[in-house]
Structure 1
């Protein structure tokens, strides 16, 4: 799969865990992706801005501005933008229910696909026991993940020099460490969709892009723009797919 999108027009696009304000944010790649997208519905599913990082040290290069500029341009052209706070930009929860032009801030919402399927859309930190009961552990984990990303960059620089393809050491380590927590998180969100008699859930938070059918309920995570560079899209015919926008793409799943 190349980074050439199969189509420029989608019924809906979901992105999350962008972490603008963090050095590891791949803002330039996201801006490039958004330049190729035309959609009536853009869901920003939490952690778009990383206020945890910005509180410690201000970092806001022009590439991060470019993302906001493109989103505002889409809004001006008629795209309905649904902004959902996550744990890294949780101060936005003070503005739930408010609208600014075509931008609406919600804690969660329901998306209905062309074929009538209904999905809960939510960042997902509300279902993370660490965030709920031990937020200090989340801060420690975030620091460790940041270090792992920088180690990963050096690791892959050496791999490229040796002629090997990109392989994410940081994603591998995170998946090994958080496998049980992600499994629990996934199950809780699926139960939330079941309780609302929905067909599935669309979320972020874990930085693991996936589409999984769990006993007839679809769990869909749109990934992140720190490492994965993934988005979830609904095609004009109602198909849902994860788009991988890294230079070496590996993931393409449709339901």
Structure 2
């Protein structure tokens, strides 16, 4: 992967401390880019998982060191805590070293568009995800990740690229699709109320971008199932990066859809 510079980069749901965090892939990605502003859009450290089973591999430690190094070498880093790192929410408006902490904020792109940036757990009560929320938040989701883990070990042995079986299964569960749609709608309703052009979030591990009611909805995905990020170039264009698309050493990008073509 050739060295690439991004004006702005959004990553979320790293879940450092969780065994399914793809820290090695993330570290390789970060080592091959430079970035002006980096948004850490919540669930960076999985404090929930660490209270159950403490594990902190060296790769996870190296990711933290890399993020700190970026903040000390010219990259502006903003951390927007989510639900899995909720204790950090109390420090909104403060800074940890050179890393700013905020619960939510508005980012203005190079072409003047205003995007609300937040993790997305703010909408849990409103969305009322019900059975699916309980399912995806507990043992069944752990089982899904377990299956995903072993399935991709098999693919690795077969010299095949990573593929998110967990994401595929979720896409074919009706209640999951309904929950994602309700979440997307809640995000867009909030953005519209704030009179911004769009919203950038994470939380549900479902990378996508589309227009809904005139609002540009973007979910930057995760580094547990999908290994995705959102990038802005110097012109203000926004693209989803699928790090593991095709092969683990080359990123694929998904450009911003035109409003007239959006679903």
Q: What is the TM-score of this pair, normalised by structure 1?
A: 0.89
Segment drifting more, 29-38 vs 51-60:
29-38
- 2:92 corresponds in structure 1 to 96
Are the structure 2 counterparts of residues 251 and 218 from structure 1 closer, same or farther at C-alpha, using a change threshold of 3 Å?
farther
Q: For residues 169-199 of structure 1, what are the alpha-carbon distances to aligned partners after superposition, in whole Å with 9 as ceiling and x for unaligned?
A: 2112223241111100101111111111100
- 2:261 corresponds in structure 1 to none
Larger strand proportion, structure 1 or 2?
2
Segment drifting more, 135-144 vs 222-231:
135-144
Could you list the runs of 5+ residues in structure 2 that have no partner in the other structure? 257-263
**CA contact under 8 A between 1:125 and 1:131: conserved in structure 2?**
no
Whole-angstrom CA distance in 1 between matches of 2:155 and 2:133: 32
Structure 1 residue 15 and structure 2 residue 11: aligned? yes
Match of 1:227 among 220, 225, 228: 225
Could you list the runs of 5+ residues in structure 1 that have no partner in the other structure? none
- 2:192 corresponds in structure 1 to 194
- 1:80 corresponds in structure 2 to 76
How many matched pairs?
A: 251
Q: CA deviation at 1:203?
A: 0.2
Matches within 5 A, 1:13-162: 13-129=9-125, 138=134, 141-158=137-154
Indicate the structure whose relative CO is greater, using CA pairs within 8 Å and at least 6 residues apart: 1
Q: What is the TM-score of this pair, normalised by structure 2?
A: 0.87
Q: CA deviation at 1:138?
A: 3.9
SS of 1:38's partner is: strand
Q: Over the residues paired in the alignment, what is the CA RMSD in angstroms?
A: 2.5
Whole-angstrom CA distance in 1 between matches of 2:213 and 2:108: 20
**CA contact under 8 A between 2:241 and 2:252: conserved in structure 1?**
yes
Whole-angstrom CA distance in 1 between matches of 2:119 and 2:144: 23
Are the structure 2 counterparts of residues 247 and 107 from structure 1 closer, same or farther at C-alpha, using a change threshold of 3 Å?
same
